[in-house]
Amino acid sequence: MRKLANAELDRKNIDEFKEAQKTPIIVILDDIRSLHNIGSVFRTSDAFLIEKIYLCGITAIPPNKEIHKTALGATETVAWEYAKDVLEVVHQLKQETVKVYSVEQTENAIILDDFQPEINSKYALIFGNEVKGVSQEAINLSDGVIEIPQLGSKHSLNISVSAGIVIWDLFQKMK
């Protein structure tokens, strides 16, 4: 098996990406401290044609050379918007009939394996701070909570890993 060259991968240019039909998923990053995590989520969102990213609270915004290191240009393709208050974003999206889910560990969380997105629905996924997670206030406003099953001794995953797992899972289920 021969490794493919980048030119053989049939990648979309920026204009083609912007015109492409998007996966009906919105990512909300709330108070993310790591610029590398932010860039990684942009790159994952580009890979799966995510509709938009909201950068909230202390989450840094492009252009930023540290975000760019991991995003590798995805800040130019994926639509994004800064909003100071995550709760205002959640209220706005719910008014637009977007189903909002926090990715967190809570009572009565739906294990990711068991989560089944509804056909013809749009979803927003809230990922919270690397230390504190998703705020209780945002959880309270959410339509539900999705939990990634973890079997080891640790009870958390890096935010960019969590985003990759959940986005991939929903992308697969929505196809």
Ordered per-residue pLDDT tens for the chain, 175 residues:
999 998 899 899 999 999 999 999 999 999 999 999 999 999 999 999 999 999 999 999 999 999 999 999 999 999 999 999 999 999 999 999 999 999 999 999 999 999 999 999 999 999 999 999 999 999 999 999 999 999 999 989 999 999 999 999 999 999 8
- Residues 19, 120: Cα–Cα separation, whole Å: 20
Strands (DSSP E) found in 69-168: 80-83, 99-103, 110-111, 123-127, 144-147
Helix and strand numbers, DSSP H then E, in the chain: 7, 7
Express each pLDDT in 29-76 by its tens digit.
999 999 999 999 999 999 999 999 999 999 999 999 999 999 999 999
DSSP state of 56: E
